[in-house]
Structure 1
Amino acid sequence: MNRRPGLSARLKLTISYAGFLLLASALLLAVVWLYLLRYVPDSPKGLLQVAPNRYLLKRMFAPAAATALAFLLMFGLLGGWILAGRMLAPLTRIADAARMAANGSLSHRIHLEGTKDEFRELADVFDTMLEQLESHVGEQQRFAANASHELRTPLAISKTLLDLARNGPTRDQSELIERLHTANTRAIDLTEALLLLSRADRRSFTCEVVDLSLIAEEATETLLPLAEKRQITLDVTGEKAQTLGSAALILRMVTNLVQNAIVHNLPSGGTVTVHTESQHDASVLRVENTGHRVPAELLPTLTEPFQRGTERTRTDEHAGVGLGLAIVHSIVRAHDGTLDLAPRPTGGLLVTIRLSGTPQASSPSGAH
């Protein structure tokens, strides 16, 4: 909402105190005019007259001046107290909001009214900070709760299998060992994904020049056996697209995207296309796959941790831990890039990632 510009707080204080000083000076001059000059005889025709005697000046002017000064002092204290209270009231509201936030209440907002000055700007910035902090804390709490829930499942399965192995020695031990191995593998994968997600959120990595086209080729080569098993065709196209970032994190990002595109595809005969290109000062990666139609209302949930859309959930060995696109989103955000998800009209998903380019990326280069 547009707000009309107002006087700055500094200018308001300057005008206010100057006004009080002007009023004090006017009162003092009025006292001098009324109580002193009236006793100084006029000098008609330019004749020099004898000055009023000291007794009259002390007797008539001094009490009036003292009374005026006392009145000015009381008026200045009262007026200054009221004025300072009115001018500093926004700071009191901001301090109260900060105190409530320190006590754990992040839902309170200042919502300072009036024209836009320094205090209003400070209050608006503080409200924005509280909103972002509340959202971040809520997201972390949900993430911790979901992570605990997800980790509890494989651990509970492991405990149950161990109890069966201890209490039922006649059971098929090889089957128990295989199921226990599967549960432990899932727990390890989930733990590694959580650590990777935390690392990306902290931005604790060293930046280097990374070519998205080479990363795309490496990721697709790694996942080629999975694609062949599912009868999915992988196609890598495009040109050199360089960016600054962590090669390991970007490789994990592209690998997650391609693996999701393979897993969430047609039962057979599907395709996955990975394309890289340079656009002005950005390096672009696109991953497009065939598959079932993705409802528009499902898109915002795909990058949330542990939020698996029912239409996209797989129950096989590549079901994942619910962090694939969440990790992608976190890595893109850590590299100050953008992530865009769009459903394809014929089914499947188009994922577009834009990262900041490098000077080398803007130079002409041939396609791979």
Structure 2
Amino acid sequence: MSATASTQPPESCARDGTVDRNPGLSVRLKLTLSYAGFLMLAGALLLAVVWLFLLRYVPEVIPLPPPEGSRSNPGMYVPDRSELERAFTPKAEAVLAFLLVFGLVGGWILAGSMLAPLTRITNATRLAANGSLSHRIQLEGREDEFRELADAFDTMLARLEAHDAEQQRFAANAAHELRTPLAITQTLLDVARHDPNRDTDDLVERLHFINTRAIDLTEALLVLSRANQRSFSRENVDLSLAVEDATETLLPLAEKRGVTIETSGDISHTLGSHALLLQMATNLVHNAIVHNLPEQGTVWVTTGVHARTVVLTVENTGKKLSPQLVSTLDEPFQRGTERIRTDHAGVGLGLAIVKSITQAHDGTLTLTPRADGGLRVTVQLPAAPPHTGR
């Protein structure tokens, strides 16, 4: 017998990433029933108290003294307990019926008033799920649990909107940066095809240079993506050793450009990816070398340990930078129009990669213009626990 494939669409089990559930009572109805049930229970307990502490002490017959001056009537009696019960029961039933109606109506109104902020939050969530990240709840009133939830949701929406805008800018800039070497390559190939006598050595050299730049850009994008996704295992890393490796690697470039590198500091252990932290240190030192004075420039690299953080500081001499320009340097493809541009200037992702790696390691990145010119970059990362040190 051949197996028959099910024709039931997967949407029957899950729609839009959510699990299908059987319909149930609304929260407002549940709260209404809870309020009414609690009110009924309180009323029943109150009536029970009346019965236990009042009616149970009523005697069967209460003799009354005869009217003054009368000898024919020896006494009178009040209704017995059974008669009082017959009189009390209908009143108690009426009171419970009133409490039921009052509890249902009042509970429905009260639950609706209490859940009104939750409805606004739900509507904002639906708008955000449909792509509208500019909407804000802006819940009025005093501070309470719903107000805290609404404010936290507004903060999340603001961050998502900023992140979405940043990703769109990054995608557009990346597409432009990748298209540029491809367009230049296409132009060179078209010229070579229409000019057979062109010097092929010069063409190959230029194509090699353009291809290298494209490879560097692609690798930088991959590093940036890896840092943003935090798809790495954490290990104990001595940041001072990573800085030492980075400076040794870039020492020939510094000597070629006449830049002096001065390193100092303490052993600084943190938890993270050794490869990414080495990339971060390399980018910082490379950036400090390239964007420096034309001659006799200096780079200072220091590491330090504080109570709960390790600090890496990279400073370099150079032209004076405005605070407005410095605030944009860690954005992707923002090289800074006031900074020196050379063939070693990179692809415009150096500090953006540093920022992503720092954030992926739960650290902070601070860019500060130096008063005498140049830039000071400070990276603060959480220090490794003492027992993880080697």
TM-score, normalised by the number of residues in structure 1 = 0.82
Change (3 A) 1:48 1:263: same
Q: State the distance in 2 between where 1:246 and 1:129 align.
A: 28
Query: Which position in structure 2 is the counterpart of 1:44?
Result: 64
Cα displacement (A) at 1:278 = 2.0
Q: 8 Å contact 1:241–1:361 — kept in the other structure?
A: no
In the TM superposition, residue 145 of structure 1 has moved relative to its aligned partner by: 1.2
Measured in 1, the distance between the counterparts of 2:42 and 2:231 equals: 61
Aligned equivalents of 1:309 and 1:168: distance in 2?
A: 38
Shift of 1:239: 2.5
Counterparts in 2 of 1:78-93, with a 5 A limit? 78-93=105-120
- For residue 94 of structure 1, report the CA deviation from its aligned partner: 1.1
Secondary structure at 1:79 match in 2:
helix
> Judging changes above 3 Å, is the alpha-carbon distance between structure 1 residues 143 and 47 closer, same or farther for their aligned structure 2 residues?
farther
Map of 1:123 onto structure 2: 150
d(CA) in 1 for partners of 2:62, 2:127: 69
Q: Give the equivalent residue in structure 2 for 1:279.
A: 306
In the alignment, the residues of structure 1 paired with residue 384 and residue 308 of structure 2 have an alpha-carbon distance, to the nearest angstrom, of: 7
Matching residue's letter, 1:205: F
Cα shift readout 1:16-68 (whole Å, capped 9, x = no counterpart): 76995599679989xx9xxxxxxx998635975453887x987x878776665
User: How far is 1:180 from its partner?
Assistant: 1.2
Residue type of the partner of 2:383? Answer: G
Partner of 1:7: none
Map 1:46-125 onto structure 2 (within 5 A): 48-51=77-80, 70-125=97-152
Matching residue of 2:364: 338
Match of 1:323 among 349, 353, 358: 349
Q: Of residues 235, 252, 264 in structure 2, which corresponds to 1:237?
A: 264
Deviations 1:185-209 (A, max 9, x none): 1111111001000111111112222
Quick one: which of 196, 211, 218 aligns to 2:245?
218
Question: Structure 1 42/204 Cα, relative in aligned 2: closer, same or farther at 3 Å?
Answer: same
Distance 1:230 1:89, change over 3 A: same
- Counterparts in 2 of 1:57 and 1:218: CA distance versus 1, 3 Å: closer
- Distance across 2 between alignment mates of 1:225 and 1:250: 21
CA–CA distance in 1 between the matches of 2:302 and 2:103? 74
What is the 5 A alignment of 1:153-232? Answer: 153-232=180-259
| Equivalent pair of 1:305/1:322 in contact (CA under 8 Å) | yes
Compute the displacement of 1:280 (Å). 2.7
* 307 and 270 in structure 1: CA distance in 2 versus 1, 3 angstrom threshold: same
Query: Counterparts of 2:81 and 2:269 in 1: how far apart (Å)?
Result: 93
**1:248 positional shift:** 0.9
User: Higher mean Cα deviation, 87-96 or 16-25?
Assistant: 16-25
Contact kept? 1:293, 1:345, Cα under 8 Å: yes
Query: For 1:362 and 1:349, how far apart are their aligned partners in 2?
Result: 33
Contact 2:302 / 2:312 at 8 angstroms: preserved in 1? yes
- In structure 1, the residue matched to 2:374 is 348
Give the 3 Å change call, closer, same or farther, for CA 203–140 of structure 1 in structure 2. Answer: same
Change in CA separation of 1:23 and 1:188 when aligned onto 2, cut-off 3 Å:
same
Give the stretch that moved more between structures: 324-333 or 228-237.
228-237
Deviates more, 1:230-239 or 1:302-311: 230-239
For the Cα contact (< 8 Å) 2:62–2:77, is it kept in 1? no
- Cα displacement (A) at 1:102: 1.1
Match among 138, 141, 146 for residue 168 of structure 2: 141
How far apart are the structure 1 equivalents of 2:348 and 2:302?
Answer: 25
Q: How many residues align?
A: 342
Distance 1:151 1:229, change over 3 A: same
Q: CA deviation at 1:72?
A: 4.2
Question: Helix, strand or coil: the match of 1:265?
Answer: coil
For residues 107-150 of structure 1, what are the alpha-carbon distances to aligned partners after superposition, in whole Å with 9 as ceiling and x for unaligned?
11111222222222222222222222222222211111111111
C-alpha contact (below 8 Å) 1:242/1:361 kept by paired residues: no
Equivalent positions of 1:241-256 (< 5 A) are 241-256=268-283
The structure 2 residue matched to 1:311, chosen from 338, 348, 353, is 338
Structure having the higher helix fraction is 1
3-state SS of paired residue (1:146): helix
Identity of aligned residues (%): 61
1:255–1:27 distance in 2 versus 1, CA, 3 Å: closer
Taking the aligned partners of 2:280 and 2:387, their CA distance within structure 1 comes to: 20
AA aligned opposite 1:296: P
CA–CA separation in structure 2 for the residues paired with 1:272 and 1:83: 67
Q: Distance in 1 between matches of 2:334 and 2:220?
A: 15
Question: Hey, what's the Cα distance between the residues in 1 that align with 2:136 and 2:249?
Answer: 50
Contact 1:281–1:362 (Cα < 8 Å) also in 2:
no
Normalized against structure 2, the TM-score is what?
A: 0.78
Structure-2 change in CA distance of 1:288 and 1:57 (3 Å): closer
Task: Determine the structure 2 residue equivalent to 1:301.
Answer: 328
Aligned 8 A contact 2:40 2:100 in 1 = no
RMSD value, Cα: 3.4
Report what 1:132 is aligned to: 159
Q: Which amino acid aligns with 2:210?
A: A
Higher relative contact order (CA 8 A, sep 6+): 1
